[in-house]
């Protein structure tokens, strides 16, 4: 195995721990791994698995990330490709100063933001991965959705030998489309979700849908295009815009877990619905997506992961 190391400098403030947890969401996640010091993920490059390890040096306000990349063969194009992917995944170039300044005028939002200073809004490496995550987590708890994604990664993701163990990349569409519907059923996916995943993978590999083109559209046009895909409804489309495209103005209003966290934050008695979420977030525009990520970390903190 070959190895290269290099540094990245995020816009401050930056906290790798918070950002890694916003990526992985649950401790069971085998694709996005965090051991308390280093974030690791296997990525696909030119059809081969590459493991990336990130640790944070410096301080919250002067952060430096040390990136170590391990591959069967290091080629010159690998370093810039990995650097671009990490900037996207970890929001390294996003300036949150306007959000922090705005939060000062909203007591509960300010308290929430101050608990997680340095969290950058993450994105999935690709729109395909965002859609697969949305399908897996539809109408299920996040914990169950992550377990389904783990099984899919072990079945179709590129394997990478790490010592005596094997870790896996998130599956690429050309590997997912080879799976049979019954395989998805055996992994725990419903028949409907299995069909949606197969069709999406086929359309991406055969270029009958251009996800990069969808990503270039404005919010409304992108939502309309996503609704044309099998299995995509309002929650999935808004989730993909936020976590796949980085549209930080969007808070997926149908997310029941996020509804409950928002209700708890504001000490509301009655449950929230989609319209209720919209009314609350109107006064926090255009920071709905940032609120969503901070509420995600608040839930993880309450579960004891961020002590």
Which stretches in the chain have pLDDT values below 50? none
* The domain over range 127-243 is classified in CATH as 3.40.50.150: no
As a whole number of angstroms, the distance between CA 45 and CA 4 comes to 15
Q: 96-115+248-307: which CATH number, 1.20.120, 1.10.1670, 1.10.3470, 3.40.50?
A: 1.10.1670
By DSSP bridging, strand 165-168 and strand 159-162 are antiparallel
pLDDT at 162: 82
- CATH architecture classification, 2-94: 2-Layer Sandwich (3.30)
**How many of the other CB atoms lie within 10 Å of CB of 2?**
11
149 with 237: CB under 8 angstroms? Answer: no
**Residue extent(s) of CATH 3.30.310.20 domains in the chain:** 2-94
pLDDT of residue 163: 83
Locate CATH 1.10.340.30 in the chain: 127-243
How far from 7 is each of 80, 91, 193, CA to CA, in Å? 11, 15, 40
**pTM more than 0.75:** yes
Query: What confidence tens digit (pLDDT) does each residue in 117-156 have?
Result: 999 999 999 999 999 999 999 989 999 999 999 999 999 9
Three-state secondary-structure class, residue 168: strand
pLDDT of residue 32: 98
Write out the residue limits of the CATH 1.10.1670 domain(s) in the chain: 96-115+248-307
The first and second tokens of residue 210, run together, are: 């251009």
Per-residue pLDDT at 307: 63
- In angstroms, the CA 115 to CA 182 distance is 45
């Amino acid at each position: 195995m070959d190895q290269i190391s290099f540094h990245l400098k995020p816009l401050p403030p930056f906290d790798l721990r918070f950002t890694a947890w916003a990526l992985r969401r649950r401790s069971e996640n085998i694709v996005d791994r965090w051991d308390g010091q280093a974030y690791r993920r296997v990525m696909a490059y030119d059809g081969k698995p590459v493991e990336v390890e990130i640790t944070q040096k410096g301080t919250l306000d002067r952060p430096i990330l040390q990136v170590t990349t391990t591959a069967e063969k290091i080629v010159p194009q690998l370093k810039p490709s990995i650097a671009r992917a990490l900037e996207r995944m970890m929001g390294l170039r996003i300036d949150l100063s306007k959000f922090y300044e705005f939060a000062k005028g909203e007591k509960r939002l300010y308290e929430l933001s101050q608990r997680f200073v340095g969290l950058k809004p993450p994105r999935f490496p690709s729109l395909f991965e965002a859609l697969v995550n949305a399908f897996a987590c539809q109408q299920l708890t996040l914990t169950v959705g992550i377990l389904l994604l783990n099984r899919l990664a072990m079945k179709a993701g590129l394997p990478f030998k790490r010592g005596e163990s094997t870790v896996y990349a998130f599956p690429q569409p050309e590997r997912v489309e080879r799976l049979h519907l019954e395989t998805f059923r055996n992994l725990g996916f419903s028949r409907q979700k299995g069909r949606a995943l197969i069709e999406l993978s086929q359309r991406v590999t055969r270029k009958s849908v251009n996800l990069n083109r969808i990503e270039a559209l404005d919010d409304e046009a992108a939502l309309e295009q996503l609704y044309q895909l099998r299995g995509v409804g309002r929650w999935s489309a808004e989730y993909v815009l936020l976590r796949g495209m980085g549209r930080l103005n969007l808070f997926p209003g149908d997310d029941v877990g996020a509804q409950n966290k928002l209700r708890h934050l504001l000490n509301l008695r009655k449950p929230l619905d989609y319209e209720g979420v919209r009314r609350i977030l109107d006064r926090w525009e255009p920071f709905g997506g940032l609120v969503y990520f901070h509420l995600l970390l608040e839930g993880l903190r309450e579960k004891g992961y961020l002590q």
